[in-house]
Amino acid sequence: MKKKVLVVDNNKLIVRLLTVFLQQQGYVVAAAEDGLSALDQVEVFRPDIMLVDLIMPQINGEKLCRIIRKMPEHDAIFIIIISAIVAEEKVDFQSFGANACIAKGPAKQMNEHLATVLHYYENDKVDLLGKKIFGEENIFERDITKELLATKKHLEITLNHMDEGLVELTADAHVIFANPVSFKLLGLSEEKVLAGFFPDFFAESDRQRIARLLEKQDENIVELGEDEPITLHDNYLLLKFVPFYDQGRRYIIAMMHNITRRKQAELELIHHKENLEEMVQDRTVTLEELNVELEDALCKVKTLSGLLPICAACKKIRDDQGYWNQIELFIRDHSFAEFSHGICPECAKKLYPELDLYEDK
């Protein structure tokens, strides 16, 4: 059975040259223009060999290799890197799972090197390939490429150390890049995230909201999760979607902010406010009940106030009707006081001198 080769390169001329050469060698050939479409092709075409460029849009060659190597059903694919940046970047292709590496150059030389690598593969001598980069001696470093690679490296360092998750999506919401914080927030490894449908990483209720928003999003920047939180693995997330165009293609940057602490503080504040309002209501009811009891008590209280007409001789008090009352009777009727009668020493001596009631013993 003829073996299958998948050529992954966004340079159509390179794809055409490699396809013609491989078909002449008796291989069945398919092509993909970037890493994202290559993953789809791998599932359908199921290649034995892959030729992969490193610099590509929508999942570069290095990430594509890492993903393939973490897919058990495709781990046996023989991967050959064919790249024009091997002189500037000193590619350690084995570190990300490739089996061989060829430098892009003149078509004749490139085909010769490819034939050599395939010969090793067909004869089960891939271990002899080692870390050799075929054709490296015939290419030279380019200053502009070195500068671009340096800029790329600086950008990657920045993205890798951000506190927020950053995910790049295609127009149909498939992931083509994600930084380490994104993997942590999503709770998934890189190979599980890349090429995945972004809304599928969320719970059903949030998934539908995100999918609808991405489907209808125009050129405006939109946020989701502030008024109605997006929850994921016990975290509250604020999602910000920024659309942009590059070379005629539409992309979306999704920024994921972990706002769990702020949301928890807001919820605690709301909880405390509700408790305070409940306490105030309880206190108000209690005070109202006490006020009613107090008013009722005050209604029952009898008080003496104002000027009281009293006889200078017998000490009777004149009431509002003009009647003279014994002082004890008047006080009894106008307060809650009750009297018990006794006799003081002076009156005892005056009234009962013969009894000596208070004489010292």
For residue range 27-52, what is the model confidence (pLDDT) as tens digits?
999 999 988 899 989 999 999 999 99
* Per-residue pLDDT, 141: 52
- The string of pLDDT tens digits covering residues 144-175 is 455 555 555 656 777 777 789 999 999 899 99
* Per-residue pLDDT, 1: 73
* Per-residue pLDDT, 77: 94
Structure tokens of 130? 């080692």
What is d(CA 153, CA 166) in angstroms, rounded to the nearest whole number?
16
| Stated length of the chain | 361
* Per-residue pLDDT, 56: 85
Helices (H), the chain: 12-24, 35-45, 61-69, 86-89, 107-122, 143-160, 180-186, 190-193, 204-216, 260-300, 327-333, 345-351
Q: What is the value of pTM for the model shown?
A: 0.61
For the stretch 181-188, contacts whose Cβ atoms lie closer than 8 Å and that sit 24 or more positions apart, written own/partner, are 181/256, 182/256, 185/232, 185/233, 185/235, 185/237, 185/256, 185/258, 186/232, 187/232, 187/233
* Per-residue pLDDT, 139: 58
> What region does 135 belong to: left with phi over 0, alpha with psi -120 to 50, or beta?
left
Contact 80, 93 (CB under 8 A): no
How many C-beta atoms surround the C-beta of residue 136 within 10 A? 16
Residues of the chain with pLDDT under 50: 143-144, 361
* Per-residue pLDDT, 144: 44
* Per-residue pLDDT, 153: 64
